[in-house]
Amino acid sequence: MRKIPPMLMPRDGRFGSGPAKIRPEALASLASVGTSLLGTSHRQSPVKRLVGTIREGLSELYHLPSGYEVILGNGGASQFWDIAVCGLVEQRSAHGVFGEFGGKFATASAQAPHLADPIIHEVAPGSVVLPQPDDDADVHAWAHNETSTGAAAPVRRSGTEALTVIDGTSAAGALNVDPEQFDVYYFAPQKAFASDGGLWFALCSPAAIERAERIAASGRWIPTSLSLVEARANSLKNQTVNTPSLSTLWLMKEQLSWVLENGGISFAERRARENTDQVYTWAEEHAHATPFVEAEYRSPVVATIDFDDAIDATKIASTLRHNSIVDVEPYRKLGRNQLRFGLFPAVDAEDVSRLLGCIDWLLTHPEETPDA
Ligand SMILES: *Cc1c(COP(=O)(O)O)cnc(C)c1O
């Protein structure tokens, strides 16, 4: 395997789309707080304070209107699909599907025996589609950023009575969003929030809370671990239904305070956009590369770049990996000659230009020629 000259290397080689780069400063702070936090009870005040700080931090970051609540629980974003199917969809959901993650929520809804078949609007990866205003559904769902394809969608109500339920997993912590335009914005923190996995967070409007309460009171059977009402009751006390990962909470708190101290979501979005703009510009100028997603929907956080037959993207990714630049493989099921870069706010712009320099170096120093 070719060895990339050390002078070209990024300082940090983590460019994955999730789990994604956690800032070294946050990891150091986790190590230093270790003995007073890790291995202590999640029912006592140090952890309750931590959860409280995160809940307040999220309200501040998104300027949540009064009545909106920050609810959290265990199981990551995937768990939230089941929670929504159990406790937010009354009869039928409508889904915009433009990649793997949006599709998984639609499937969860399709499999639920107590719901009518969902309305599914689907387009091929690389574009975006939203539920339609006249969809007769009580939940409208799509992803703010489809991590599997690198497409970002608008977040806006469709003008119906339906709840707008948005998967914010790789967008939350990086992209601005107007809370008046959603009822639920849920996400896991191991992507743009530069934390570790295992938790879900949901920013919920009064209408969403009312819906969850009404369904729970209707007599529908809802397992406790899938109950949004149970999760809410615990969250309001800065607790979770069962034991959360304390290190995930701590890293989340660290990233939230870093973003808030530096100016909030616009600071985070600027950093991510600076990173992805570099990559899109590079691809547009490159003879063998093109951005995969239609210009209008190109994600400011996850850039996907297609290569023509002259270039073997799999080989580039594996050579980069061998050089400790990791996780730029495309989403496994997409099956394209592609590289995918997670360029969340934690990633430094300088490292992105170094990453591109390393790829250029590999492309101009093919295996056959001796390394310069
Ligand atoms: C990663 C991801 C998920 C799944 O998150 P988990 O925490 O692994 O369940 C869901 N939706 C989107 C948009 C994602 O990027």
- Inter-axis angle of helices 24-37 and 45-61, to 10 degrees? 150
Q: Which atom of ligand 1 is nearest to the CA of 171?
A: 13
Range of the domain at 88: 25-261
CA atoms within 13 A on the CB side of 277: 10
Give 108 Cα–ligand 1 centroid separation in angstroms. Answer: 14
State if residue 330 touches ligand 1 by the CB under 6 angstroms criterion: no
**184 with 140, same domain?**
yes
Model confidence band, residue 220 (pLDDT cutoffs 50, 70, 90): very high
pLDDT number for residue 44: 86
Mean pLDDT on 222-231? 98
Q: Is 347 left (phi over 0), alpha (psi -120 to 50) or beta?
A: beta
Question: Is residue 61 in contact with ligand 1, taking CB distance under 6 Å?
Answer: no
Q: How confident is the model at residue 6 (pLDDT cuts 50, 70, 90)?
A: very high
Q: What is the mean pLDDT of the chain?
A: 96
Residues 114 and 163 in one domain: yes
Report yes or no on 73 lying in a domain.
yes
Q: From the alpha carbon of 18, which atom of ligand 1 is closest?
A: 1
DSSP 3-71: PPPGGG--S--B--SSS----HHHHHHHHHHHHHHTTS-TTSHHHHHHHHHHHHHHHHHTTPPTT-EEE
- The pLDDT-based confidence of 35 (bands split at 50, 70, 90) is confident
pLDDT greater than 90 at residue 40: no
Statement to judge: residues 228 and 308 lie in one domain: no
Boundary-marking domain end, from 215, 231, 261: 261
Do 227 and 120 share a domain, yes or no?
Answer: yes
Q: Which helix (H) or strand (E) holds 72?
A: strand 69-74
The alpha helices in the chain, defined as continuous H runs, are: 24-37, 45-61, 76-87, 100-111, 206-217, 228-235, 246-261, 265-285, 313-322, 349-364
The answer on 246 and 186 residing in a single domain is yes
Residues 239 and 276 in one domain: no
Q: What CATH number should be reported for the domain holding residue 281?
A: 3.90.1150.10
113 and 228 assigned to the same domain: yes
- Name the closest-CA residue to atom 2, ligand 1: 169
**Same structural domain, 132 and 254:** yes
Report how far residue 332's alpha carbon sits from residue 169's, in angstroms, rounded to the nearest whole number. Answer: 18
Whole-number Å distance, alpha carbon 120 to ligand 1 midpoint, is: 19
Q: Is 101 touching ligand 1 by the criterion CB < 6 Å?
A: yes
The total of structural domains in the chain comes to: 2
C-alpha distances out from residue 86 to 81, 95, 276, Å: 9, 16, 37
Last residue of a domain, one of 261, 290, 315: 261
Over residues 225-230, the mean pLDDT reads 98
Is residue 372, in this structure, part of any structural domain at all?
no
Q: Whose CA is nearest to atom 3 of ligand 1?
A: 77
* Residue 210 confidence (pLDDT): 98
Q: Please report, rounded to a whole number, the percentage of residues in the chain having pLDDT higher than 70.
A: 99
Closest CA relative to residue 181, chosen from 210, 157, 165: 157
C-alpha span between 175 and 265 (Å, rounded): 7
Q: How confident is the model at residue 366 (pLDDT cuts 50, 70, 90)?
A: confident
Closest CA to 30 of 242, 233, 217, 249: 249
Higher pLDDT, 40 or 11: 11
| Closest-lying ligand 1 atom to the alpha carbon of residue 78 | 9
| Same domain for 235 and 316 | no
Instruction: From the CA of 76, give the closest atom in ligand 1.
Output: 7
How far, in Å, CA of 146 to CA of 222, rounded?
A: 28
Torsion of CA 38, 43, 45, 49, to 10 degrees: 80
For ligand 1, the distance from its centroid to the CA atom of residue 122, given in whole angstroms, is 19
Q: Indicate if 60 and 170 belong to the same structural domain.
A: yes
Question: Is residue 269 located within the same domain as residue 297?
Answer: yes
**Alpha carbon distance 275, 65 (integer Å):** 31
Q: What is the DSSP string of 217-246?
A: HTT----GGG-HHHHHHHHTTT--SS---H
Q: What is the pLDDT of residues 257-292, one digit of tens each?
A: 999 999 999 999 999 999 999 999 999 999 999 999
Q: Probe ligand 1: pick from 82, 169, 248, 327, max atoms within 8 Å of CB?
A: 169
pLDDT tens across 297-326, in order?
A: 999 999 999 999 999 999 999 999 999 999
Taking the CB of residue 29, how many other CB atoms lie within 10 A of it? 16
CB 241, CB 224: distance < 8 Å: yes
- pLDDT, position 159: 87
Paired tokens of 186: 């849920």
What is the band of 97 on the pLDDT scale with cuts at 50, 70, 90? Answer: very high
Average pLDDT over residues 102-126: 98
Does residue 301 form part of some domain? Answer: yes
Domain stop point among 261, 289, 322: 261
pLDDT of residue 42: 84
Answer whether 250's CB lies under 8 Å from 50's CB.
yes
The stretch 189-212 carries a mean pLDDT of: 98
Do residues 220 and 332 both lie within one domain?
no
Q: What digits encode the pLDDT tens for the residues 55-96?
A: 999 999 999 999 999 999 999 999 999 999 999 999 999 999
Ligand 1 atom nearest residue 198's Cα = 7
The pLDDT score that the predictor gives to residue 34 is 78
